[in-house]
Structure 1
Amino acid sequence: MHFPLHKVDKPLEPIHSESNNLPGLTNEQAAQGLVSLVDHSEGHTDVSQGIHATSHTIFNIRWIHNLIPGVERLATQYHIGNFVAIRGSKEQIFEAMPIYARIGMHLLFYGRGQIQVLHSHTVESLLKEQSIKEGKVYDSPESTASIPSFVETYSLDTSELLEPDVKKYKTFNEFFSRKLKSDARPVENADDPASICSAADCRLTVYQTIDLAKQFWIKGREFTYPNLLGEDPSSERASIFDGASLAVFRLAPADYHRFHSPIDATVGEIVHIPGQYYTVNPQAVNEAGFDVFTANTRSILYLTHAGTGLPVAFVAIGALLVGSIVWTNGGEKGKMIKRGEELGYFAYGGSTVVALFPKGVIKFDEDLVANSAVPVETLVKVGNSLGRTPTKA
């Protein structure tokens, strides 16, 4: 579905904590719904009839209706998803949210703080357990049977894959973290050493300061750079990122899930921060009472920017049903890496990378800045222009 960018009044369908948008659904029913969706993915190969069902397809799936009371009303009264701008045009598309993400969001907003939601689980422990379980399901050889329906559901272009024959993948997760042909994602402005590129195939928002990010997009009260990085606010590292710019690369389930370096750099240390497995959908990021990025499990790679000598923090954030964060070239400390070279990948599920650029490292492209102020995400690919390092006066 395409819409003119300037005519969309609500790029994001807000979730209101004070009113339950899944009518008649108890926290226990929501928890059981998520468990059943994960269990269903193990024995059923059509992902569109289970875990990746959306509000547009749910009317034809009777077993989900029985499991989640009120889901038909939800599908008709709310657009469960968000709009994304098509770069280089005034158009945008509507992307429907998979049902598992919406149930996870319901549990977060209406079940957090409950002593238990299902079998003595807290919301947090349930989401973590199901995320780990889904990772194991899609690591099994039997999971390859789900690949064709996943390709069809998201209209994936297999011709750009390094291995285009889906029958040759040994597990669903191997396909999910698929590699592309070497020329599939050329780096824009590759001859300009000041240029900086997109780190992922993603839905992108950019903000020159954290104040702008919190004004337009990231509403969590606890979102600060020290909290994101797991640093004491008085530490030297935290002070380096004081006033930094940030780019939020959100990877949807359909996206190519390897992430790449946005800069020419030297690979530095990695810091792992354990945490939760909450959904990183824009509705959750835009909820004032909830801190997605600073609560979730994450792995931080520090890159030294070749142009300025300053550190750039590359924060890979896990999410609901994301099994793992894996570093490839990003795990080789001391390695010199060029823009567009691979750093690592996510296992199953959509997730997010947040890149922090200290003052003076980047001035974002104006079209990305304008869309982010709407606010609406912009659809971009690995290697697309993100901005450039400004020339010193």
Structure 2
Amino acid sequence: MASSEPSEAHFEATASALNNLVIAATSDHKTDPKTTLHTPASHELSHKWLQRIFPYHSLEEMESNLHMGNYVIDRQTGAKSFEPMSIYVRVGMHLLYYGSEQEKALHWKKTQALLKAQSEKMGAEYDAPESKAHIEPFIESFNLRSSLSEMVEPDPSKYATFNEFFAREIREPARPIAEPENDLVTSSPADCRLTAFPTVDMATKYWIKGFGFTIARLLGGSSPDVAKQFEGGSIVIARLAPQDYHRWHAPISGTVESVTDIPGTYYTVNPQAITEPGSLDVFCENKRSVMMLKRTATGRPVAIVAVGAMLVGSIKYVSEVDRVGTKVRRGQCLGAFYYGGSTVIVLYPPGQVVLDEDLVRNSTEEKCETVMKVGWRTGITKA
């Protein structure tokens, strides 16, 4: 019978694997990222990392047992495709979620310290001038060349650091919003893989399986009256993969009523972490920032929660948009995430939005994320 206590040796092996991955990714910025951090977890190149941790004897057995990726649905075509999980996410998830030995490791302060240290290390490395050399390999590895024309600065050589490129600004015409004259429409806050649920209860039934998730905890100890406004309301979850345009935008028009930065850790927000029954709820544990808006069309509150994740350096608002009283319009850029994956969660009060049927169907019946762009429609408020 497996011990109920976390294995010190097991933790150290996993921590060492993660540390070595970060070192490999930053020691030579000209290296293809898909040979270090972003190597698919099922790839032969990943085997040496995984063998240190997993007891399985073959990649096929590991892939079968340990969920090496996620299916997503293209909204425009309806096609379902498989996105392999990067090795650093797989290592990070095992550190937190898999095996009886790891169950109590969720609560280890040293686990949180490890993820914080590695995230800050990546942030510092990618803020350094030398990191500029990583821009071209990143573009080539993730086939981003054709998307550069959408950027305010399309020339990769003009970016001073990799993080500056990672948080690059997009030209507004490149992301037109759906039905711009109709302020009752809601739109996607990011280029992302999106799930949408008419109620929070449905979200916890189909998607958010970690223990401890509540609206009050997500909003970081806001007054009970604030959290209560969203109980029974709708929730939209937008996950940004590292290759995505990494800024988030307003899903509605409104006035900023408050912005609260909430300290936390840096767990992965990969769907396998979110949907694993009995795991820790990462949305309520991770570093995040909560913007409360008073919606122009209805006068009701809308919460926009920017959630950091594993190896995310920082969450930054664009100039002055986070000032109380600032008016923002749907589709307007609100902020940027620096290196890593991340998530934006939007909360609506009950009865305030009817989410689009295809998004809800994909999220519940298919249990899949939908690939979306900034400004695409997510729902509408009935007049």
TM > 0.5: yes
Deviation digits for residues 7-47 of structure 1, max 9, x if unmatched?
Answer: xxxxxxxxxxx9xxxxxx93322110101111122212221
Q: Deviations over 1:274-306 (max 9, x none)?
A: 111100000000012221111111110011100
Q: Which residue of 1 aligns with 2:17?
A: 33
Q: Which amino acid aligns with 2:367?
A: P
Match for residue 231 of structure 2? 242
Unpaired segments of 5 or more residues in structure 1? 1-17, 19-24
Q: Contact 2:194/2:372 (CA < 8 Å) preserved in 1? A: yes
CA distance in 2, matches of 1:165, 1:235: 48
Once the two structures are superposed, the pairs formed by residues 43-192 of structure 1 within 5 Å of their partners are: 43-45=27-29, 46=31, 47-55=33-41, 58-60=43-45, 64=49, 73-74=58-59, 77-78=62-63, 80-110=68-98, 111=102, 113-114=104-105, 122-156=110-144, 157-192=147-182
Select which of 220, 225, 238 maps to 1:230: 220
CA shift, 1:163, in A, is 1.1
Q: Distance in 2 between matches of 1:183 and 1:71?
A: 50
Number of the residue aligned with 2:6: none
Give the distance between the partners of 2:80 and 2:118, measured in 1 at CA. Answer: 33
SS at structure 1 position matched to 2:231? coil
CA contact (8 A) 1:112 1:123 kept: no
Q: Give the aligned residue type for 2:377.
A: S
Superposed CA RMSD: 2.3
Out of 363, 369, 382, the position equivalent to 1:372 is: 363
**Amino acid of the structure 2 residue aligned with 1:247:** V
Assess if the C-alpha contact under 8 Å between 2:10 and 2:53 holds in 1: no
Question: Aligned letter for 2:180?
Answer: A
- Contact residue 41 and residue 137 of structure 1 kept, 8 A: no
- 8 A contact 1:48–1:149 mirrored in 2: no
Q: Any conservation in 1 of the 2:216–2:227 contact (CA below 8 Å)?
A: yes
Q: Which residue of 1 aligns with 2:244?
A: 255
Aligned mate of 1:315, from 305, 315, 323:
305
What amino acid is the match of 1:130?
A: Q
Q: Does the 8 Å CA contact 1:272/1:299 hold for their aligned counterparts?
A: yes
> Which moves more between the two structures, 318-327 or 25-34?
25-34
Alpha-carbon distance change, 316 to 148 in structure 1, aligned in 2, over 3 angstroms = same
Displacement after TM superposition at 1:75 (Å): 5.9
Number of positions where the alignment pairs a residue of Structure 1 with one of Structure 2: 364
How has the CA–CA distance of structure 1 residues 65 and 123 changed in structure 2, closer, same or farther, with 3 Å as cutoff?
Answer: closer
Partner of 1:301: 291
Greater displacement, 121-130 / 165-174: 121-130
**Conserved 8 A contact 1:221-1:291:** yes
Using the aligned pairs only, state the percent identity: 44
Determine helix, strand or coil for the equivalent of 1:138: helix
Give the letter for the 1:349 counterpart: G
Counterpart check, 1:273 vs 2:262: yes
One-letter amino acid matched to 2:297: G
CA–CA distance in structure 2, aligned partners of residues 201 and 115 of structure 1? 30
CA shift at 1:269, angstroms?
A: 1.1
Give the C-alpha shift of residue 77 in structure 1: 4.1
Structure 1 counterpart SS, 2:127: coil
1:219 is displaced (CA, Å) by: 0.6
2:336 alignment counterpart: 345
Code of the residue aligned with 2:321 in structure 1: it is G
Which of the residues 178, 183, 186 maps onto 1:193?
183
Q: Normalised by the size of structure 1, how large is the TM-score?
A: 0.87
Verify the 8 A CA contact 2:47 2:59 in the aligned structure 1. Answer: no
> Do the aligned residues in 2 keep the contact of 1:187 with 1:383 (CA within 8 Å)?
yes
Structure-2 separation of matches of 1:165 and 1:87 = 30
Q: Distance in 2 between matches of 1:358 and 1:115?
A: 32
Describe the superposition over 1:227-286 as per-residue Cα deviations: whole angstroms up to 9, x where unpaired.
111236x72112211211100000000110100000011122111111111000000000
Residue type matched to 2:230 in 1? Answer: F
Equivalent pair of 1:231/1:237 in contact (CA under 8 Å): no
1: CA distance, partners of 2:369 / 2:191: 12
C-alpha deviation, 1:159, in angstroms: 1.9
What is the rounded CA distance, in whole Å, between the counterparts of 1:356 and 1:196 in structure 2?
A: 12
**Stretches of structure 2 lacking an aligned partner (at least 5 in a row):** 3-8
> Which residue is 1:384 aligned to?
376
Q: Which of these residues, 42, 45, 52, is aligned with residue 26 of structure 2?
A: 42
Letter in 2 for 1:37: L
Deviations 1:59-87 (CA, angstroms, capped at 9, x unpaired): 24787578667798346641511010010
CA contact (8 A) 2:237 2:343 kept: yes
**Residue identity in the other structure for 2:262:** I
